[in-house]
Chains A and B, each alone.
Chain A
Amino acid sequence: MTAGWSYALNQWRQSPTSFVRLEEHERAFKTVSAAGFRAVELWAGTGRWSNLGRPEHLRLNYGSAAGFLDRLAECGIDAVSSLTWDPSAPAAEEGFELRSTSRPADHGAILRAAETYLELLSELGCERIVVRATEPAGRLGSGFDAAAVASVLDRLGAAAQDHGVRVAVDIDCLSPPLGRRHRAAARAHRQRPRRPVAQHRGSRRGGRRPGLGRPRPRGPHRARPSQGRPLPGRGRGLPASGCGSRPPAGERGP
């Protein structure tokens, strides 16, 4: 099980016609690598210009999954850590079907659609598919069916295991309130004592904080968490974080 820090590529996708040319991919891979990350996260999409977001388009652009891994390696990226996929998002390649994890009748189509991604992930040696539990609350309305969602996620988990992939369920800030236990966990998170996050508030006079300013050991790759400390533990999948990697975080500042 590989563990470590990867970077989500979706922020480079600012408009439907952006981040399509292969040299743009290359510059993003190199920027991520130079910034100290050794893996990238892909995101599922549709159409010829989402050429990292559909298995068939990725293979067409890079010759094969192995060809894509070679390209990443040339850019200093060792692995594809994960791929995020929203089963309810319509895709041209699947006839723009509108599917819901809350509707058992759609579960067959969801599993068929997942299979194309799971095959790619196993070819990429990627061990995590991040599956959005439900469609946004606005679209779901009152139709949330916890049992149905759980059932299809279990079946996805089993299918994924056959490909050596684990499912990580993704809840994000547009997800419907999923149940008592979740709401309690969310409340607990909000009330826990907050450790001040090291963010710049005006220039810091006085002594230099240890560890900064003196030459650092030059390992092959220097991890430089500038804020907070890396979580301990190896191999343990992290609990689903609050807000998933979508929508892209707003730029700090005014």
Chain B
Amino acid sequence: MIEWSYAINQWKPSFDDFTRRRDHERALRVISISGFTGVELTTGTGRWEPLGNPEQLAANFGSVRGFADFVRDAALDRVSSWFYDPLLGFREDLSAPADPADPDAHASVRAHATWFASALADLGGQVLVVRPTASAWQRPQLDDGAIGTIAKCWNDVGRAIAPLGVRLALHFDFLSALRPDDGLERLIAATDTETVGFSVDTGEFVAAGLDPVAFIDRHPHRVAHVQLKNAAAVDDRDEYTRRNAEHHVRKGGGARPVPRWFLELGVAPGLVDAEAVVRALVAHEYDGWVTVESDLSPHPPTSAMLNGWYLQHVLQSIVEEAR
């Protein structure tokens, strides 16, 4: 059965935005009224990221469960998932950025993943979505040894968090070091099929020139999570290799520049065929969360409502026909 959640990250364009309780309450209500039943959190650190990690949730809502109540008060069922980026160091425990391609970082990755996963379990969430490794401009070549190191890290994490009732989903993005030389396929082969799943982010796949539907058909049993996002352009000039690509390409738009890489579902000139993605999920009897996302939105409420429209009036019928 598919459940629909919405990613909260679009509400925070700058470090000093979206910090007050009233901002969070209104965002959760907009998500709820637009037809979603869950919310996906993302990684953040420091006092201006009250939803960024378990310690900040406790500091702002009394406890992690206090935040779970806050979510239910907004007429949402629960937190569906949490996106954990190990490459972000944490001020809470003064930990440094940890790249799974570096064996010395595995202990830190495992500890933080468990920290997030146990909080997620308290929130009723089921999927820890993680960034598998650094970006391509930071790690241009991933030989089989490096792929093996990354796989080992996530195999350990997968086993560590399974008892908490939380599935692991590795999230590929169009700037990832897994993009060249079929890195993603090689990582799938190197990881444990039982405990390591993958998150299909349709916008990131299309921007990277990959086909999300083909991926779902090829690896139906490894799809643990879906981020449904529309894309407006393809990085067909390999700008992802540029230094500081997060800043210059994802935010700055690269050389052209691309004004917005990601759009609301069903909005021109979108390139993601969301209906085909949902049909593929239904065909493979996917049982889990689909998190709709609209990163770097110029107007978060409108993005959530337009995505809500598309869910209610296009995607829902595809899911129901299959029942």
List chain A positions with a Cβ less than 8 A from chain B.
254
Q: Is B209 an interface residue (CB 8 A)?
A: no
Interface of B is mostly: loop
Count residues on chain B whose CB falls below 8 Å from chain A CBs.
3
Residues of A within 8 A of B35 (CB): none
- Residues 216-257 of B, flagged 1 when their CB comes within 8 A of A and 0 if not, give 000000000000000000000000000000000000010001
Residues of A within 8 A of B257 (CB): 254
Residues of A within 8 A of B253 (CB): 254
* A157 CB, nearest partner CB in chain B, Å: 46
- Residues 248-282 of B, flagged 1 when their CB comes within 8 A of A and 0 if not, give 00000100010100000000000000000000000
Q: Give chain B interface residues in 173-204, CB to chain A under 8 Å.
A: none
Residues of B within 8 A of A254 (CB): 253, 257, 259
Residues of A within 8 A of B259 (CB): 254
- Residue in chain A with minimal CB distance to B258: A254
Query: Given the complex of chains A and B, what is the CA–CA distance between A254 and B253 in angstroms?
Result: 10
Query: Given the complex of chains A and B, what is the CA–CA distance between A254 and B259 in angstroms?
Result: 6
- Residues 23-63 of B, flagged 1 when their CB comes within 8 A of A and 0 if not, give 00000000000000000000000000000000000000000
Write 3 A-B pairs (CB below 8 A) sorted by A numbering.
A254-B253, A254-B257, A254-B259
Query: Given the complex of chains A and B, what is the CA–CA distance between A137 and B259 in angstroms?
Result: 33
Query: Given the complex of chains A and B, what is the CA–CA distance between A254 and B258 in angstroms?
Result: 8
Query: Given the complex of chains A and B, what is the CA–CA distance between A254 and B296 in angstroms?
Result: 15
Query: Given the complex of chains A and B, what is the CA–CA distance between A233 and B47 in angstroms?
Result: 60
Query: Given the complex of chains A and B, what is the CA–CA distance between A254 and B232 in angstroms?
Result: 14
Query: Given the complex of chains A and B, what is the CA–CA distance between A254 and B257 in angstroms?
Result: 8
* B248 CB, nearest partner CB in chain A, Å: 13
* A254 CB, nearest partner CB in chain B, Å: 4
* A14 CB, nearest partner CB in chain B, Å: 15
Query: Given the complex of chains A and B, what is the CA–CA distance between A254 and B255 in angstroms?
Result: 12
- Residue in chain B with minimal CB distance to A254: B259
* B212 CB, nearest partner CB in chain A, Å: 26
* B233 CB, nearest partner CB in chain A, Å: 12
